[in-house]
Amino acid sequence: MEFDNFETQFIIDLIGAVNHPLSCRPTTQIGLANSNITQFRDFNQNPQIFLGFPPNPDVILRMEIERSMSLLQVMVNEGLVPCGEEEMKRRNAIDKLKKIVVEWVKTVTYQRGLPKKYLKFASGTILTYGSYGLGVYNSESDIDALCVGPYFATIAEDFFIILHNMLASSPEVSEIHCVKDAKVPLMRFKFDGISIDLPYARLKVISIPENVDVFNPFFLKNIDDTSWKSLSGVRANRSILHLVPNIEVFQAVLRCIKLWAKRRGVYANLLGFFGGIHLAVLSAFICQRHPSASLSALILLLFKTFTLWPWPTPVILQDQITRPFTPTHDKVSWMPIQLPCSPYEFCHSNITRSTFYKIRTEFLRGHMLTKDMLSPDFDWNILFEPFPYARKYGLFVKIFLSACDKDELGDWVGWVKSRFRCLLVKLEELLGFCDPNPTEYADTDASEPNVIFYWGLPTGRADLINAELVEEYFLKSIDHGLNQVSTGTMKLSIVKAYQLPKKADQLTALERKNSKTCWRVVDGNRKNTVPQPKYKPHCAESAGDYLPTNENPEFPSAGG
């Protein structure tokens, strides 16, 4: 459809006014599930003529529909919408994992010598969160799953030893690792080829309902700090899904923004950028404030809102009770985003001065592109173009990590990445700015398995940095606690843009698929344990009313 310049600008200005963040009047209401479209509600005054040109809401509505549908098609083309087979595969994996967890709880109950009647009621469950819990996963996504167990199942012995052994002996499980030294300790493994992160939370009850209410004070009373942190992901996900006005629209917005963040190099929490929970809250915030806007309008509003956002004012989803913002005494947060499940907790962030600048620059670019989305030649693919590192920067810090085999490399890379913020802050002190490219590259000609990172540096400042001194500083940070982790080698150097591998400015170049890194924790003080027998019902049935026990249970059953 052809428009002259005056009409095009008029439509853009009109949409900008109607969709202004301060406006409480919705523009359109487009349901993605059934494409249910209602008429505009913003023309109550209905001016007949504006400088000789009558407004035509039907034209605007039609163009918004076309832009929304074309954006959904981009998501399909990028493989971001899972098929039914993928959904069934993940559902089956979760169901099998639940059965193993229930068996594990029965095993621990028997070995603890608890009263026989507890064997009937004692149980655990699996709760999902993250991209899978929010319904925005794809074929390459992992599953964030929380193991919830009863009070007597400890994390040190029962979770990391007994459950670990049960999973390791399962034919569906491979590449299992324990990550004990993280903020949220977990096991990481593949189940039927699907990568799963499995932290643990124990509640002070005997029986855990299959879909336990993680907001019920009965279950949350007096739980330990690790369990509280582990539960926060599930609680945050469920809060978001409860607060957004339309779940399908929210999912579409979040898929788009995650693709944008990954392509533009601002999606990697360990490197100082956004994590999944940050983008989920930002997307939910826009959907909540504009409940009737179309998908294309919501993307426009998201970039406009956070380009102009007065950071460090926190982003807070509103629920039925509006709580005043209470500043914390923790380290300064550049972009505070409140967890929707708690008025006093914020999404963990590693954002630094450099990454804050990069994120804001990308928000501004997104705003400048999408504000003209009603022009006839608008193309969504431009928004999702990969960030051109090789053209943007003349210098790079090259971080070369290697190990003797792939398993050792995964452990080593995960450990080093957990300390990347120290290196980033050091480079900022020396050069004022650093752009840590999250993409993992590999040198296929090297003799050992390896991963390489290239971080962009300001051009013309190579004389201000001594790579050997920076490497020495970073190695000291890595060495802290290194006795617990499998080790590899690390080499840091400064290279120029022409020394980058071919197509290094493309996020797909040499990228390792399904390569979420991890590290094994080797506990040298732990004695070798004899493999524990699996739970067998007939053993308990012949044990009389009570099994041998050295402890008196104090906690009630919550499941039956």
Annotated binding site for ATP: 142-144, 197, 258, 267
Buried b (16+ CB within 10 A) or exposed e, 184-210: bbbbbbbbeebbbbbbbbbbbbbbbee
Choice among 68, 131, 207, 402 that is catalytic: 131
Closest CA to 124 of 93, 102, 157: 102
Token pair recorded at residue 315: 């982003």
Three-state SS for 478? helix
Choice among 98, 204, 258, 262 that is catalytic: 258
**Strand bridging mode 435-436 / 450-457:** antiparallel
How far apart are alpha carbons 266 and 436 in whole angstroms? 9
How far apart are alpha carbons 299 and 68 in whole angstroms? 10
Calculate the CA 90 to chain-centre distance.
18
Active site annotation includes 426? no
How far apart are alpha carbons 490 and 319 in whole angstroms? 47
Active site annotation includes 137? no
How far apart are alpha carbons 345 and 435 in whole angstroms? 28
| Binding-site positions for Mg(2+) | 142, 144, 197
How far apart are alpha carbons 499 and 513 in whole angstroms? 24
Active site annotation includes 131? yes
Contacts with 451 (C-beta within 8 Å, 6 or more apart), sequence order: 401, 402, 409, 413, 440, 441, 442, 512
**Strand bridging mode 186-191 / 194-202:** antiparallel
How far apart are alpha carbons 517 and 409 in whole angstroms? 9
CB 125 within 8 A of CB 212: yes
Buried b (16+ CB within 10 A) or exposed e, 459-496: eeeeeebeeeebbeebeebbeeeeeebbbbebebeeee
| Binding-site positions | 142-144, 197, 258, 267
Token pair recorded at residue 378: 């608008």
CB 180 within 8 A of CB 166: no
Active site annotation includes 258? yes
Active site annotation includes 23? no
How far apart are alpha carbons 244 and 289 in whole angstroms? 9
Three-state SS for 489? strand
How far apart are alpha carbons 242 and 434 in whole angstroms? 38
Choice among 197, 411, 435, 505 that is catalytic: 197
Three-state SS for 526? coil
Active site annotation includes 405? no
Choice among 42, 142, 158, 435 that is catalytic: 142
How far apart are alpha carbons 177 and 152 in whole angstroms? 23
Q: Catalytic site residues?
A: 131, 142, 144, 197, 258, 267
